[in-house]
Amino acid sequence: MKRLVYLKKCFVLACLALSICACRPDIEFVENSFRSSDATVSKGSDTDGTVTILFGSGSGTASLELTASRAWTAAFVNDRAKEWCFLSAEEGKRGTLTLTVHVAPNEAYDERSASVLFTCGDARKTIVVTQKQHDALVVSAGRIELPSDGGSFQIEVRANVEYDYAVAYPQGNAPSGWIHATGTKALTTRQLLFQAEANDSLEPREGSVTIRSSLGQEVVHVYQQGEAPALVISGKSVDMAPEGGIFDVQVTSNLDVEIVKPADASWIQDITTKSLSTNTYVFSVAQNVSRSERICQLVFRNETYGIADTVRVYQDCRHILLSTEDVLVPSHEAVFSLRVCGEDPEQYRFEVSDRWIAQERILADASGVCFLFRSSANEGDAQRTAKVRVYLDGFEVPDEVSVVQPERLRSFTYSAAGPEVWAPDLDAPDLMTFVLWGDGTYDVYEPGLVHVYDTVDWHTVLVEGRRLTDIQFGHPADGMHLDFSDLHK
């Protein structure tokens, strides 16, 4: 009997022990579940259980299975890691889950890492995500110029990969071996030091230093002047707009240089303050008001040694009309103008495609020549468009402008005393809203429009448009007369 009681007590104690073990919270990463073609995934010892994921510098994804005996959470040890490392879930319930880890590309030149702590009750597991740096090799300059007497020079290299360098000389160039490496300076960015021998030949010579790494190579070209006369120009062609402007020419020479230009190239002026053997020459190009393009050859030379080089300067011609944008005219009769770029009105000829536009007169002053046209009223129910072409003597291709007139628009008038009269404020007018000022001029409506007259008399203003609603006069005049009868037809 006592033995039976003893066995029962042992059984109860065993059940209690199993119950306590079953309730102990636990979290685990299943080792044989690691999957990734972008990263190397490994798990630490059974006691540690830390998972390490190593990505390259590009974006990538890795997945693994997580098992937990109850609800769990995940938190980044450093919140800044969330900017480039992402988890498919940061919390979960009891059971098994496939967890995905994704990283963005690393554009920095340093390796980076993130630690994620998983918590399930009092159990802890960690994932350490490491991403390799973006490898780079940057060279400070691609070209080095040296005087004929040689001297030291340096090439600055910034890199986070192993590299070496080699000195080379073009075939057929001066004898090789005149560039010598003299060491390095151990700074944040390494400086490769070189010494160039004096050039006793009569011709310039060239060499190169190639910086090589697993990422490829960077070539630095080394040019050294010779004892012979030399003249080098930075650019051989310059294109200028019709409006003109400023351009410069970089001239490198060990001689005095003079500039020769054609006698008919007065549209180009040298505005350089001084002329030295090595200098920047600055030129001013005048506005081209003709209908012809123009070209000039600027010659830089030293007559004593018989060497020269040439820069070709090209300037485009102007348009005949100063503006070829569409001209909008009101549905009522109106006068509009077309301004040309020249000064002689006899050189121009016009063709009008429709009879509702007629050339009226010419205005010529210090600002140029302006041709006035009259458009007759449009009594129809449809918008219409006409073409005006302007020809310049000696040129077959004209400039063309479209004149657009809306259908007959509703209107209202008001009378006010000058010399300044304001247009009323309108609610949501469209582009085809016009203000005819009563002195032969008009404007396309815009808020705050005001017109200045030559006299202080009373003037009758007509406003027409497709949507004339909510009309308000912000600057009413005493005795102003309004006529809205046409709006109610």
CA dihedral 315→317→322→324, nearest 10 degrees, is: -110
Residue 479 lies in a domain: yes
6-15, 58-67, 80-89, 220-229: least confidently modelled range: 6-15
Last-in-domain residue among 224, 244, 262:
224
Q: DSSP labels for 164-197?
A: EEEEE--TTSS-S--EEEEEEE-SSSEEEEEEE-
Residues 71, 49: one domain? yes
The pTM score is: 0.42
The secondary structure of residue 354, as a DSSP letter, is: S
Query: With bands split at pLDDT 50, 70 and 90, how would you rate the model's confidence at 313?
Result: very high
pLDDT digit string (tens) for 218-261?
888 888 877 767 788 877 899 998 889 999 888 887 778 889 99
Tokens 């009259």 -> residue: 374
57-66, 285-294, 452-461: least confidently modelled range: 285-294
Residues 142, 107: one domain? no
96-110, 193-207, 445-459: least confidently modelled range: 193-207
Average pLDDT rounded to a whole number, residues 78-105: 92
Q: DSSP labels for 31-83?
A: EEEEE-SSEEEEE--TTT--EEEEE-SS-EEEEEEEEESS-EEEEESSGGGGG
pLDDT of residue 10: 44
Domain count, the chain: 5
**Residues 140, 146, 151: CA angle, nearest 5 degrees:** 95
Centroid of chain to Cα 235:
25
C-alpha to C-alpha distance for 166 and 212, rounded to whole angstroms: 8
Phi/psi for 343 (5° steps) reads -120, -15
Residue 198 scores a pLDDT above 60:
yes
3-state DSSP assignment of residue 13: helix
Residues 40, 127: one domain? yes
Residue 371 scores a pLDDT above 80:
yes
Average pLDDT rounded to a whole number, residues 306-321: 88
Average pLDDT rounded to a whole number, residues 271-279: 62
Residues 238, 211: one domain? no
Residues 414, 465: one domain? yes
- Average model confidence (pLDDT) across the chain: 84
**Which amino acid does the sequence have at 13?**
L
Last-in-domain residue among 405, 426, 443:
405
Residue 1 scores a pLDDT above 60:
no
Phi/psi for 14 (5° steps) reads -65, -40
Residue 20 lies in a domain: no
3-state DSSP assignment of residue 18: helix
Residue 2 lies in a domain: no
pLDDT digit string (tens) for 435-478?
999 999 999 999 999 999 988 888 999 999 998 888 988 877 76
pLDDT digit string (tens) for 27-56?
888 888 888 888 888 887 666 678 889 888
- Most confident by average pLDDT, 12-21, 178-187, 290-299: 290-299
Residue 14 scores a pLDDT above 50:
no
Cβ neighbours around 177 below 10 Å, total: 10
Residues 157, 248: one domain? no
Residue 9 lies in a domain: no
CA dihedral 247→252→258→259, nearest 10 degrees, is: -30
184-188, 319-323, 325-329, 368-372: least confidently modelled range: 184-188
Residues 33, 108: one domain? yes
64-73, 130-139, 242-251: least confidently modelled range: 130-139
Sheet holding 384-392, edge to edge: 327-328, 399-405, 384-392, 348-352
Residue 275 lies in a domain: yes
Residue 334 scores a pLDDT above 90:
yes
pLDDT of residue 134: 81
Domain that holds residue 366: 327-405
pLDDT of residue 315: 92
Give whole-number Cα distances, 121 to 69, 71, 94, in Å: 9, 8, 11
Residues 119, 148: one domain? no
pLDDT of residue 95: 92
Query: With bands split at pLDDT 50, 70 and 90, how would you rate the model's confidence at 373?
Result: very high
Instruction: Give the rounded percent of residues in the chain with a pLDDT score beyond 90.
Output: 36
Write the CATH number for 92: 2.60.40.10
Last-in-domain residue among 170, 203, 224:
224
Largest CA distance in the chain: 139
pLDDT of residue 449: 94
21-30, 164-173, 235-244, 289-298: least confidently modelled range: 21-30
Looking at per-residue confidence, does 328 or 166 come out higher? 328
Residues 186, 270: one domain? no
